[in-house]
Amino acid sequence: MIKDYFEKFSAFLVPHGLYKMFSSRKEKLETAKFNKFMEKQKKRPIKRFGIATAEGEECVILGNGPSLKNSLSGETLEFIRNKKKFCVNESILSEEFLTLKPDYVVLMDPYYWSKNTGEPYKTYYLKDNEVLSKVDWKIKVFLPKPASEWNFFIDIPEKNKNVEIVYINTQLSQQPSEELKFIEYRQNLSMPRVQNVLVACLYLAINAGFKTSYIFGADHSWCNTLHVTEDNKLCYINSHFYDKEEVTTHQPLYRNPECTETWTIGDFFEALSYKFKTYDELEKYSKYMGSKIVNASEVSYIDAFERLAKKPAEVAGGLHE
């Protein structure tokens, strides 16, 4: 504040032309200082989370949407098999998890590290633990830093050396500009808002250096099944690619691990808006980092990324060529 008063006082005393000259010089010095700072930050190593990628390598990110079932067949399945794979959440309990043998599992929901997680989620996570304790291939499990104190999987690396748990910083950036945010993202000093686990997958893939990330099974069509009960509880049909039978029953849309409070319709749609706005940001970040995101989901509400017009097998060498 004192500095502001001094500048205003100086502007009053010093002749206008002279003051303008000094102000211009000061602005140039500050700009040069900022540019020097930015260049220094850009030279710092990128946080790659121990993910090794070859030049031009591509990956696939498998959401749990119902449309993934159609993608896991024929030439598209072969396309997926031949790439490094990210999977999420309860796909661990699917038959496809054991056959596809994904390289990375991403778990961002607070339910995974709450000691008060309610049923049926607690039962699912204990089963996840059993499966991961027995995998016979190398796999990285990604969780947020707050989960490092305790989570349902914290003991697995001691039982199975194939499993490595990596904790990432999911804090939101407080930087005022997009460029400064991206500098932080490069070093995992912060990351885009993790309103959905797909955000974390894409962020990890970009920082790891994958040239192109293909998304499958990112339907994001929850709003199609919303229902509000007579006592104003928000419910939805929670269907996934791995369901043995078609899911037709609505269940409460809980907002806390204890499963005692459901979302309000207003808060739910606000959360949805955060998801889709963050995808817009990730599209910009991927370009900033020299990579590409392609949405190959057969059904998807996401409009931020390039859509795949052809079957993956028909795309020779990838879309970036």
Q: Encode pLDDT of 106-143 as tens digits.
A: 999 999 999 999 998 999 999 999 999 999 999 999 99
First to last CA, the chain: 53
183 within 8 A of 38, measured Cβ to Cβ: yes
Cα–Cα distance for residue pair 217/94, rounded to 1 Å: 14
pLDDT of residue 308: 86
- Whether cis (ω within 30° of 0) applies to the bond prior to 120 is yes
Q: How far is CA 101 from the centre of its chain?
A: 20
Cα–Cα distance for residue pair 207/51, rounded to 1 Å: 9
What global pTM score does this model have? 0.85
Question: For residue 295, what are the β-bridge partners?
Answer: 215, 307
pLDDT of residue 313: 54
What is the domain class of 58-314 according to CATH? alpha beta
Residues of the chain with pLDDT below 50 are 33, 316-321
Q: Are strands 58-62 and 84-88 parallel, antiparallel or unpaired?
A: parallel
pLDDT of residue 317: 44
pLDDT of residue 39: 60
